[in-house]
Structure 1
């Protein structure tokens, strides 16, 4: 048994089953409330797996991290400032190409990512086959097939989270290359960003957002949001999952 608690962020597009996965992991008793200074609701719970306690944060469902809405700002700020130990991006197996857009954006911000391909049962019904091993090689991070509502693949996902949290998995995330003009802009901004921010934040991602004129990000960097404060009693751990 370890006293160390790791923070796990759940991200994904709306209707990918992300909150269903959250409920499976954390059981019935969870803490809900609003993010500091926002009307956006957040849900948080705990899960114990192989003797380690995990704080699970269910981030708002978003299609991007481009600061176009309060939901997107909350998700972006949590990854940027709270720096979770592992980020699980939940994607819909029946709409993989569309869902991977968010996953690629997350990979630009952090390398501690696991892709959980949910609704594998629905994909099977539609005759969709996903080669998760090839996809993992392409993306450079673990890819785990699951069906949250049927509780299939949950143990494998938790084992992967456990391995990444404890440093047993090395990742090499796919780096998106943009047009020559954008890449030149990034190259010019990178030294300035690193000089001001150091290694605290993902410099390439920040440079890209600055090129896009993301004023919301600039404001957040000047005044980072306050961390979440846990309220109430301890949460239930992992519901009825047998691998506690």
Structure 2
């Protein structure tokens, strides 16, 4: 039985993502550059219910469209490194703005937990958030926490455990675009699916190719070449 899992932390800058990382990992962390980039990723570990979790703190970004090195590193980690869970940290006081990133992640990968941080600050401002409604609409667990005060941590850790154990299943909502875009997605998605199988969301890849994401195409081709070399050498 596998008792080791990887969790990627994604979120906008200033959502408390690194505070959550520090609260999770304490002194069990280190930092290193990622894949030849100048961007540093912090990594740490946490143990819960006889399971070990490697926590990776991705660069804070407002989107994952590869408009900057930070966005490219965060996007590539989620898509190509395939963490067991991607935990998207949102600011409870700016939820509408933060949800844009969450919806992008939901298009990319299935096992997602949306973590609404700074819930104590939101309550001081009279902001009420119904996480059950959000869970139903997004199709993934939504947990309210305060990373600074460790409010909601037992529920978050229990949800992580239940997700990796297969006791709950995520069914992320998919954004529906206008008729013209949806027709183009349908046209090329089956061809992409034949190429990538279940390794990457073919719908998401179709969207990025339609948007002319050259950086993604370059990275995808690079990894295809590397995988081919590995197979030949095996």
TM range, normalised to the smaller chain? over 0.9
1:237 aligned partner:
none
> Residues 1-244 of structure 1: matches in 2 within 5 Å?
4-224=3-223
Distance in 1 between residues matched to 2:223 and 2:164, nearest whole Å: 25
Distance in 2 between residues matched to 1:52 and 1:28, nearest whole Å: 18
Q: CA deviation at 1:224?
A: 2.9
Normalised to the residue count of structure 2, the TM-score between the two structures is: 0.94
Instruction: Look up the SS of the partner of 2:47 in the other structure.
Output: strand
Distance in 2 between residues matched to 1:89 and 1:212, nearest whole Å: 24
Residues 3, 53 of structure 1: 8 Å contact kept: no
Structure 2 unmatched ranges of 5 or more: 227-234
What RMSD, in angstroms, separates the aligned Cα atoms of the two structures? 1.3
Distance in 2 between residues matched to 1:76 and 1:39, nearest whole Å: 15
Instruction: Look up the SS of the partner of 2:216 in the other structure.
Output: helix
Q: CA deviation at 1:147?
A: 0.2
Structure 1 stretches of 4+ moved >6 Å: none
Give per-residue Cα distances to partners, 1:159-191, cap 9 Å, x unaligned.
101110111111211111001111011011101
Moved more, 14-23 or 154-163: 154-163
Give per-residue Cα distances to partners, 1:22-66, cap 9 Å, x unaligned.
000000231101112100010000000011000100011011110
Residues 93, 127 of structure 2: 8 Å contact kept: yes
Distance in 2 between residues matched to 1:128 and 1:174, nearest whole Å: 24
Q: CA deviation at 1:85?
A: 0.6
1:120 to 1:81, Cα distance in 2 relative to 1, 3 A: same
Residues 194, 203 of structure 1: 8 Å contact kept: yes
Residues 28, 45 of structure 2: 8 Å contact kept: no
Which of 1 and 2 has higher RCO (CA within 8 Å, sep 6+)? Answer: 1
Residues 14, 62 of structure 1: 8 Å contact kept: yes
Give per-residue Cα distances to partners, 1:88-130, cap 9 Å, x unaligned.
1000000001001000000001110000000001101100000
Distance in 1 between residues matched to 2:28 and 2:197, nearest whole Å: 40
Distance in 2 between residues matched to 1:60 and 1:166, nearest whole Å: 28
